[in-house]
Amino acid sequence: MFIPGTRRIIVRRDVKFIEDKAFRRSRDLPADDRSEQPMKAPSPSQGQQSSSTVTSTSIDSRRGIADKAQALFVFGDSYADTGNRNPYNQTVNESWRRPYGSTWPGYPAGRYSSGKVQTDSYELLRSHGCKATAKKIRRGVNFAVGGSGIFQANGFITVAQQVKQFKKVIGQSHEFDSQKLSQSVVLISLVGNDYLAFLDSRNGSIEGVTDLVKPVVSGIIDAVKELYESGLRNFAVSNIVHFGCGPQIGRTSCDSNYDEILALHTKLMREGVEILKSDLKELSIIISDLMSAVNHIFASPAQFGFVDLFVPCCAAKGRVDMCGEVDRVGRALYEVCFNVDEKFLWDLGHPTQREWHAIMWLYSHGANEENKTISFIEGAPNVIDWSSMIREKYDQTLQEIDRLLDNVNADILIEALDFIVGLHATFGNSEHDDGELVKIKHIQQVSPMEEDDVSYQ
């Protein structure tokens, strides 16, 4: 993700990659060693019940989401990427360099943030990088890679190509039948790389960008349709980010020049989702309204504990970019703020872990203003209730099976019991399941004809 009108900095090939040991630690460190400290919850709005501290787990609401579904499949961009860029490729390994990951887990972990991102809130991610094996995918796979979009890929792969990878991986794994897929969750994060690339190529000029909105939204809708046809039924699709709220020296408010683009994208997404609901049987789809959540925080930043909204925590002195950049001998060209837990933006275009926690809190609980509940999820009251609906579908299936078993003979009963055992293995208590969500392994910069060569782990 980058901000229109700015130059994207790419580290030179001759710069030594100095985070090699940190990357190895991120693979080898046991899950229990990744301790998390309780965080201060977002301060309540007027009329909202106060709570002094909320652990990051409760802010993430991970247990409320992950325990309701069989697996999580993630598609999209840097707002969902958990390490799919190659850490050893010096031209694209920004998220694998210090100071990324300084809040959590304490070293670079491939995320475009100071710590965790929204993907970590949707699944029980217990380690970074597991041994490559198709059997390991039973908790899901993250196909998202920083820079991706519908047409724009920044040298990597588009979302359509990610969907193609999903089909290939699922076909090879034999881990998912139609029932398991129908109870899995899909997260699609496409927050605007197509628009940002267009604007950047025109030095920020918005002329002609509205013509791009319809095909971008159509591409998102087509991705949902294709994944639905593959057997998936539960989708959480993110709205786009507000382009005019990026970091800028001296900025005190968001730039309204992009409002028409943002409004049109939001309108077409809502219309497209409603058509999907009417056309696709048993589809459960929500839109996580990232833009509204950010606007809510911007309206009262002090209530959420944020300061200097338009100043990133990590940047070169007097600038808003160059986080993670080093010179020829490995000396940092950037500075890191001392108050990262009070910062909204981590780098040129990505949230801090603290911002992600605040956003996920709003997705999970909403907000109260003047005794009125505000939801930031379209299609459900909140993301926790939506995930509970997924579990209810499973419970209803079991009840129907129980009813049918009352009048069957022994042979059919045995067959039905085998089916129930399979369902329990799929949706039962995951506390004893050593499966984990895995990532596409080090997505290289590839042409559209080369995406089949990408391996997964």
What's the rounded Cα separation, in Å, for the pair 311 and 253? Answer: 12
What's the rounded Cα separation, in Å, for the pair 94 and 321? Answer: 12
Q: In the 8-state DSSP scheme, what is residue 390? A: H
What's the rounded Cα separation, in Å, for the pair 418 and 303? Answer: 53
**Tokens 């940047």, located at residue:** 315
Please name the amino acid found at residue 314.
Answer: C
Residue 235: beta bridge partners? 186, 285
- Give catalytic status of residue 350 as yes or no: yes
- Give catalytic status of residue 26 as yes or no: no
What's the rounded Cα separation, in Å, for the pair 108 and 173? Answer: 29
- Give catalytic status of residue 259 as yes or no: no
**Displacement of CA 306 from its chain's centroid (Å):** 22
- Is the Cβ–Cβ distance between 88 and 11 less than 8 Å? no
Q: Which of 58, 78, 284, 292 is catalytic?
A: 78
Q: Which of 81, 120, 289, 347 is catalytic?
A: 347
Q: How many CB atoms lie within 10 A of CB 5?
A: 14
Query: Which residues lie closer than 8 Å to 442 by C-beta, 6 or more apart?
Result: 84, 85, 86, 87, 88, 89, 455
Q: Which of 128, 350, 357, 442 is catalytic?
A: 350
Write the DSSP string, 183-239. Answer: T-EEEEE--SHHHHHHHHHTTT--TTTHHHHHHHHHHHHHHHHHHHHTT--EEEEEP
What's the rounded Cα separation, in Å, for the pair 115 and 69? Answer: 25
Query: Which residues lie closer than 8 Å to 85 by C-beta, 6 or more apart?
Result: 92, 93, 94, 95, 96, 110, 145, 146, 156, 442, 443
The secondary element (H helix, E strand) that includes residue 399 is helix 383-404
Active-site annotation, residues: 78, 347, 350
